[in-house]
Amino acid sequence: MSRAALLPAEVLTAMLHADPAAPRITCYDDTDSPTRGERVELSGKVLANWVAKAANLLQDEFDVSTSTSVRLALPAHWRTAYWALACWTVGATVVLGHPDDVVDPDDLVLTVTDDPALAADTDPVILVTLAALARRAPGPVPAGALDEAADLATFPDAVSAWDTPDPSAPALITAPGSTAYDHLVRPHTGGRVHLLDPGPEQFLRTALDVWAAAGSVVLTRGRATPDALADRLRAEHVTG
């Protein structure tokens, strides 16, 4: 029986074949944080480069593969997109949420987080800095943690996965349950789809569905004023 939808790694491949230069994610930051005011836009090609670097890091440094899970304790963010796609490229299971919210599976081998406190209490761990131009973490990096901002750029821009996932294997685990690889992507109508301060699960699921239909995502983190948001949606030619 044929699969109903693309696998996540196939969505990325399809984007590159369709138009590698087209924007696939545009992220606005209205949070009360050091990244407030950022606008970051990634084409399919640039997104694929980030995915390849992260996937190579996962395989080379932590032996992440089809038999392992990775916790992403990250917000809805463009960096979360490439970490999730990197995990799915190498066939791993993504666990979304804080350890207090989602119980660690037995095969969990790594946590990826932007929370220094969680990084200090977790091993092994990758500490992510959300700022677009960061070249190292702005504060102390906990002993044993990998500083993504300093180390990720050293990995290659092309990746060859050691194995491919079983379509029926879990691709995503959240507090409500798990979703198999062949049930994760459900193509959307495409176009430019806006998400207003979503949770990470809604963000990743919507992005995959929109990308599978050759569309793109405009992500707003935090809350803009109504006038600023209306201007933004017009400027970005949002259709949904």
Architecture of the CATH domain 8-235: 3-Layer(aba) Sandwich (3.40)
Report d(CA 16, CA 129) in Å as an integer. Answer: 27
pLDDT value, residue 1: 36
Average the pLDDT over 131-145 and give the result. 95
Q: Using an 8 Å Cβ cutoff, are 126 and 87 in contact?
A: no
d(CA 176, CA 90): 24
Residue 6: predicted pLDDT: 87
Judge whether residue 106 has pLDDT over 50: yes
Question: Is 2 a residue whose pLDDT tops 60?
Answer: no
pLDDT band at 4 (very low <50, low <70, confident <90, very high): low
Instruction: Report DSSP state, residue 170.
Output: E
Q: Summarize the confidence of residues 185-208 as an average pLDDT.
A: 93
Rounded to two decimals, the pTM is 0.96
- For residue 3, pLDDT over 50 is answered with no
